[in-house]
Amino acid sequence: MPDKIKVGIIGASGYTGHELIKILVRHPKVELIVLNSENNAGKKVREIYPDFKIEFVYTHFSIKEINEMHMDVVFLALPHTKAMDYALELRCKIIDLSADYRFKKPGKYEKIYGFAHKDKKRKVVYGLPELFREKIKHAKFIANPGCYATGIIISAYPIQKLAKYMVFDCKSGWSGAGKNSIYVKDNSIIKNNIIAYNLTKHRHKYEIQQFIKTKLSFTPQVIDTFRGMMIVSHILLKGMHNSAKIRERYIKFYKNSLFVKIVDTIPDIHVVQNTNKLLLGGFEIDENNQLVIVGVLDNLIKGASGQAVQNMNLMFGFKEDEGLIL
């Protein structure tokens, strides 16, 4: 196990890139060297994010320069379709926060994203530690899951064999749309509002279906908060089941998962904002044999950057929660 690893971020000035910076600067095993930002190179991080007090400056190293630094790992916090261009040239371990490598079959990615995949032979591990911890430990390339995919897969995986059909009603803070979103340009659109979109064909649905084989529906909505996500799962069960036994099934399944907690309450997003936690509660069954589970997480942390660091910790033999406990 190394004492410290050399780490870089490409796409450091977006929301997920900034969350990575905040986590990695307090990580005792990390030397953060590369903070690449195409649009903000040379600027201090606090010029873009005034709450950040450390005198870090955004960089704009070439891939050749990054490779010559002999980095241990680079995080790609880039838009979809852009990450693979960098991944093809980097000579180190990679954790990709885009969707470019999330599909087992590149042809599926091409169909969903409408873009030709340039790196079809790459061996990639899907970076959901709660399911693939051992594979992540030995991986050289991690595809970090989408935020909705993280919440839905963790909410549904232990119960899918008992289910006929699943419906996921999902609400997220507007940071999930990115730094250049319409909500940033005109905050009045989301103020005191809730907006549904991609009612039946959100891209994360197809990512989720790689792991959840039960028929499912998923509708996302944006709410008037910056960060936080709620997944309300409506699961139509096969046969009659006891809610207490189902809850025990979840407790057993996630007993070794540091960041997934089964709670007695109906959780809300306030308890997970700015943390890498994912809480599951509710576990009620109604007269129609429908199980309702409520899951909450921070879309920028457990749904993106925190989970990426969790994966990094596993890859390098660090404690899984290193740098992630406030």
53, 78: one domain: yes
3-state SS, residue 306: helix
Q: Which of 7, 147, 296, 308 is catalytic?
A: 147
In a domain, 180, yes or no: yes
Going 21 to 25 to 29 to 30, the CA torsion angle's sign is positive
One domain for residues 141 and 190? no
42 with 57: CB under 8 angstroms?
Answer: yes
The answer to whether residues 38 and 116 belong to one domain is: yes
Torsion angles phi and psi, residue 225, rounded to 5: -150, 155
Q: At what angle do helices 15-24 and 306-315 cross, to 10 degrees?
A: 50
Domain membership of residue 24 as a residue range: 5-145+303-315
pTM (2 decimals)?
0.96
Strands (DSSP E) along 11-77, which ranges?
Answer: 30-36, 73-76
Does a structural domain hold residue 97?
yes
How many structural domains are present in the chain?
2
> pLDDT 10s per residue in the chain (326 long)?
678 999 999 999 999 999 999 999 999 999 999 999 999 999 999 999 999 999 999 999 999 999 999 999 999 999 999 999 999 999 999 999 999 999 999 999 999 999 999 999 999 999 999 999 999 999 999 999 999 999 999 999 999 999 999 999 999 999 988 888 899 888 899 999 999 999 998 999 999 999 999 999 999 999 999 999 999 999 999 988 899 999 999 999 999 999 999 999 999 999 999 999 999 999 999 999 999 999 999 999 999 999 999 999 999 999 999 999 86
User: Does the annotation count 147 as an active-site position?
Assistant: yes
Do both 179 and 293 map to the same domain?
yes
In this structure, the answer to whether residues 285 and 261 fall within a common structural domain is yes
What are the start-end ranges of the H helices in the chain?
15-24, 45-48, 63-68, 83-87, 106-113, 129-137, 147-156, 182-185, 203-208, 243-253, 306-315
Q: What is the CATH classification number for the domain harbouring 137?
A: 3.40.50.720
Same domain, 182 and 266: yes
Q: What is the largest CA-CA distance in the chain?
A: 63
Whether residue 139 is found in the same domain as residue 153: no
Residues of the chain by 3-state class (helix, strand, coil), percent to 5? 30, 25, 45
Query: What CATH number should be reported for the domain holding residue 237?
Result: 3.30.360.10
Q: Would 264 be classed as within a structural domain?
A: yes
